[in-house]
Amino acid sequence: MCRIRMTSPPGSTPGILEILGAGRGVLNMTVLTGSARYPDGDVVECDLDPASG
């Protein structure tokens, strides 16, 4: 299992969630709206399970 955490500009977050949500091996997706600073934005986290891809 691999964890990914990224900062996203608020306007890009919906598209990122759509792409990640379509992935077969994407688990435990979390969005922390407005939590990132420098640069400001959203935090998106998820786990990737290479065995299910």
pLDDT tens per residue across span 2-41: 999 999 999 999 999 999 999 889 999 999 999 999 989 9
Are 50 and 9 in contact by the 8 Å Cβ rule? The answer is no
Question: Band of the pLDDT at 50, cuts 50, 70, 90?
Answer: confident
What DSSP character marks residue 19? H
Residue 47 scores a pLDDT above 90: yes
Per-residue pLDDT at 53: 60
Q: pTM of the full predicted structure?
A: 0.85
